[in-house]
Amino acid sequence: MRFSESATNHKTLPVMKAEIAVVGRSNVGKSTLINAITNRKKLAHASKTPGRTQLLNLFVLNEDPPTRGIMDLPGYGFAKGASKKAQADWGQMIENYLLERESLVMVLVLVDGRHGPTDLDSTMLAWLRSHRVPHTVVATKHDKVKPSMRQKRRKELAAGCGLEAGDVLWVSATTGVNIDQLRGLALDWLADD
């Protein structure tokens, strides 16, 4: 996998056949998860470079020609403190990407396994549902939830998302829990038709 490019408008990005996007609040573990499922250590953190944090960051998974990709979207919360205009532009950039990107096959909605879903997560889920954008909820940082609390948290987090416990995939980039499973799902979603 390699970092392809950043953009403020998806229309300037290379045309792909299939692409998975990762959304979630800042610090939920988006870049870490992209690195884990692609077996790279620091790659998606390239998107941490100042100036790229609020952009659409595309990674490509194959070459000759590149057809499959993963999109590291800016974390919600980043625009906090920015001007109203900047926040509106930022929201529009993400909405346009999610609604118009033809290669988009799945949106992974990352929710922090310890706290989620937050109000912003719920807003994002409601928005994806209302626009019928295919998405899957992934709970991150499984390792940070005490083993004695896991069953309860599984039920609570899923219920908070309006889902059954079995509909949410719990992962940990730290321990590797369910990373192989998510990688398998990602390859299926991205498979050429």
Residues engaged in binding ligand GTP (CB under 6 A):
24, 26-32, 75, 140-141, 143-144, 172-174
Structural contact between residues 153 and 180, judged by C-beta atoms closer than 8 angstroms: no
Minimum distance of ligand GTP from residue 113's CB (angstroms): 8
CB neighbours of residue 92 within 10 Å? 12
Residue 67 contact among Mg ion, ligand GTP, none, beta carbon within 5 to 8 Å by kind: none
Give me the phi and psi of 27, to 5 degrees please: 80, 5
Instruction: With beta carbons less than 8 A apart as the criterion, state whether 145 and 156 touch.
Output: no
Q: How far is the CB of 136 from ligand GTP (least distance, A)?
A: 16
27-35, 121-129, 153-161, 163-171 -> range binding Mg ion (CB under 5 A): 27-35
Using DSSP's 3-state secondary structure scheme, residue 140 falls into strand
Residues 6+ away with beta carbon under 8 Å from 150: 142
Near Mg ion by CB under 5 A: residue from 31, 103, 136, 172? 31
Q: What is the nearest approach in angstroms of ligand GTP to the Cβ of residue 119?
A: 17
Which partner in ligand GTP, Mg ion, none is near 49 (CB below 5 to 8 A by kind)? none
Distance CA 33, CA 110 (A): 9
Residue 172 touches which of ligand GTP, Mg ion, none (Cβ within 5-8 Å per kind): ligand GTP
